[in-house]
Amino acid sequence: MKLINNSIRNYIAFDTVLEAGKVLEIKDKEIAKLLLNQPDVEEYIDKEEVKRLKEENKKLKEAKAAAKAEAEAAKTLETARTEANKMMMEANVNYRKIVGDAEERCRKIIFDAESRASLAENAYNNQVKKAMVHRNHMMHLLKTQMELLENFEDHTVE
């Protein structure tokens, strides 16, 4: 600790002499305490050292602020990444649900279309069968009428 004597007298504590108007660095705390109890003796504060300490404090505060800002930025970035991942997962789930629903609807529409096509094909085949039966029936009627005509002609010619 540095002490300054602002009086015109010298002060003595044990083996230490604090001369008038001088600065003395004292390492023993008891001696420094005894001398500080004297009038006009006070702790010496070097203005350059105070200025240097203020600059160091300012730099430390700036470094702390920078570290704090960096930590907050890292935390914000991590939060943003977490939220982005969460949103991507939700979007993926929604996408899969939408695609699954669309596939299900497509399968249902295809099944309905195939069922209707099958019904239409069966109806067509039934109509074709009926037409064939009707054609065969009509052919048979025409043949019998032709035979009747031939028989009639044969009877009339005789």
pLDDT digits (tens, 9 = 90+) for 54-79: 899 999 999 999 999 999 999 999 99
Query: Residues 75-91: pLDDT tens digits?
Result: 999 999 999 999 999 99
pLDDT of 17 reads 61
Verify that 123 and 94 share a domain, yes or no. Answer: yes
At 24 the three-state DSSP class reads strand
For residue 58, give its domain range: 46-130
- Specify the length of the chain in residues: 158
Q: Is residue 146 part of a domain?
A: no
Q: Do the domain assignments include residue 136? A: no
Q: Specify whether 54 is located in the same domain as 125.
A: yes
Do 51 and 126 fall into the same domain?
yes
| Structural domains counted in the chain | 2
The pTM of the whole model exceeds 0.95: no
Q: Say if 142 falls within a structural domain.
A: no
Cα separations (Å) of 70 from 55, 57, 66, 83? 22, 19, 6, 20
The SS3 call for residue 30 is: helix
Which domain-ending residue is among 45, 63, 79? 45
